[in-house]
Structure 1
């Protein structure tokens, strides 16, 4: 592309990155550098999102160097993008270093760092960072609570999760769909099904994630009858099951050796075009094996 207009280059890089054409976005960035065109904040944010979606750490280090060279590494949005990128590569120390050197931080920055810790299973770091936020009187948002609750989704952190739930109620996020889903998921994964169900029933709006969280929770705790009832209720409410719900309910069929029900759910998987999905396919094989129907498996 023969133009010195950085806006035009940014449009090409951003457009490819948003469409998932990560390689092409990176190639445009490299071509832009060859042409001697100086990157802007928008350039770096877009190309970093492409790098995070592709196994291309070398390019990430190159872009980080470019950001430092231009004094943009402490920019809120460039810095947040660098944090997220390093998090994708599980380079938590590098992500924290970027976070620490940033002179200004907003909710995007704090949530990026919280997300990195949560996605990599560092629940204690999530809580430390959250406490640091509260000491600085920074108001959490829905993404903050979603990250914190996802890190509490294990039995050891259940009590912390309950405390966070109280903060959610106090900050008036109890009716937020994303936060409500995270609460159901947290309680369900911790095996606290009564609390998960109570939160689920309180929800005014539900989506696939809501139904998946509660159904998976019951199947994991071997409460198959309740899982079947919830699955049927989900369909009556007009929610189309996705691969997570189908894989879970097929596992429930295998656990209690209900071959007839499993056959019906297999037909539903075919109808929805999910039979060849990796998760559904694995659950079908497992279900037929447990039901001693090896030929079907």
Structure 2
């Protein structure tokens, strides 16, 4: 439903005098929250004489969706003061709020309430617990909840793989991906992105090739995000030939794919080709970001391409990246390695350290 259509229906409800029926009012709160109009949802919620679990849950989920996780946590405390019966949806909303805030101290007692209510067997609640502990960097607790789940779905498995990669445990992420297969959980495009990232993090080229085959078999190679991850994985593993092959087959290229190619060629000692890739990126009209500039400046430094570096510096100024700490450092390094000490001093004198 669109917000405008919802407003029209709300006006009809007012005319019928049904706005203060608790079930109708709760549905309206839910509608406004799901449409992203949290202000009208909150205004209507506060005007209600009494609240049911539907209206409480609608507001908690609405706050989380709108990036107001602290408001969701505050409302959850109010629910408990009111003695409202907590259900699975309530826990999902408030655990997602804890995840967004990395609020472990609030999350642990909520986990206790989940167990006491018998909702831990709900896969969606357990997924939220896994996500909360993972984002709070409590991987042992996340693993414990994950292992206690009666069944695993692709959502919980993806969350675990992602957070193993973030914690520098790419090998454990690969093992979990194999466990998914043994349990008959079909990977989606997110799962493939996660496990390819795991391969990239530990430079597991052989495993990455096998997963690439599975990606092709499942028809996900044309997915831009999956393609980006494959290019990045092959580039980080030093296999630029295959990275280039995957890159060329992609239907579109975003800045992430271009950056992977530029950084990959630079790290393989092919700075000149990295600069050529940057020129192709420019021709396609893709806007460079700070990662792009760091990559091409390092490439300039590696092949002593001072004139090219000066042109890139001009583009950096135009793009507003000269004050970026990593770009600034790469600029100084490029000028220093190319023997232009005067420009190093200029940068040091006019830019924040």
Higher mean displacement: 143-152 or 89-98: 89-98
Q: Secondary structure at the match of 2:204?
A: helix
Aligned partners of 1:155 and 1:191 also within 8 Å: no
Q: Counterpart in 2 of 1:66? A: 113
Q: Counterpart in 1 of 2:330? A: 283
Aligned partners of 1:161 and 1:186 also within 8 Å: yes
Q: Counterpart in 2 of 1:138? A: 185
Which one of the candidate residues 244, 251, 254 is aligned to 2:291? 244
1:141-220 mapped onto 2 (5 Å cutoff): 141-154=188-201, 156-220=203-267
Alpha-carbon separation, structure 2, partners of 1:249 and 1:18: 38
| Structure with max Cα Rg | 2
Q: Counterpart in 2 of 1:38? A: 85
TM-score (norm 2): 0.76
Alpha-carbon separation, structure 1, partners of 2:138 and 2:305: 45
Runs of 4+ in structure 1 displaced over 6 angstroms? Answer: none
Q: Secondary structure at the match of 1:283?
A: helix
Which one of the candidate residues 64, 71, 81 is aligned to 1:24? 71
Higher mean displacement: 269-278 or 166-175: 269-278
Q: Counterpart in 1 of 2:151? A: 104
Runs of 5+ unmatched residues, structure 1:
none
Runs of 5+ unmatched residues, structure 2:
1-44, 348-353
Name the CA shift for 1:155/1:221 in 2 (closer, same or farther; >3 Å). farther
Name the CA shift for 1:21/1:71 in 2 (closer, same or farther; >3 Å). same
Q: Does 1:296 align with 2:346?
A: yes
Q: Secondary structure at the match of 2:121?
A: coil
Question: Cα offset for 1:255?
Answer: 3.1
Structure 1 residues 53-73: Cα deviation after superposition (integer angstroms, max 9, x where no partner): 324210121221222122222
Alpha-carbon separation, structure 2, partners of 1:280 and 1:33: 50
Q: Does 1:230 align with 2:280?
A: no
Name the CA shift for 1:115/1:154 in 2 (closer, same or farther; >3 Å). closer
Alpha-carbon separation, structure 1, partners of 2:62 and 2:333: 42
Aligned partners of 2:63 and 2:69 also within 8 Å: yes
TM-score (norm 1): 0.89
Task: Supply the RMSD in Å over aligned alpha carbons.
Answer: 2.3
Higher RCO, 1 vs 2 (CA within 8 Å, ≥6 residues apart): 1
Question: Cα offset for 1:28?
Answer: 2.5
Aligned partners of 2:171 and 2:202 also within 8 Å: no
Structure 1 residues 205-241: Cα deviation after superposition (integer angstroms, max 9, x where no partner): 2222211211121222232111111112112112111
Higher mean displacement: 170-179 or 42-51: 42-51
Question: Cα offset for 1:149?
Answer: 0.8
Aligned partners of 2:161 and 2:195 also within 8 Å: yes
Q: Which has the higher helix share?
A: 2
Question: Cα offset for 1:154?
Answer: 4.8
Alpha-carbon separation, structure 1, partners of 2:277 and 2:312: 14
Alpha-carbon separation, structure 2, partners of 1:105 and 1:115: 15
Alpha-carbon separation, structure 2, partners of 1:129 and 1:87: 15
Alpha-carbon separation, structure 2, partners of 1:181 and 1:296: 37
Alpha-carbon separation, structure 2, partners of 1:136 and 1:55: 30
Alpha-carbon separation, structure 2, partners of 1:19 and 1:286: 42
Alpha-carbon separation, structure 2, partners of 1:150 and 1:260: 36
Structure 1 residues 125-165: Cα deviation after superposition (integer angstroms, max 9, x where no partner): 22322222222322111111111111111565111111111
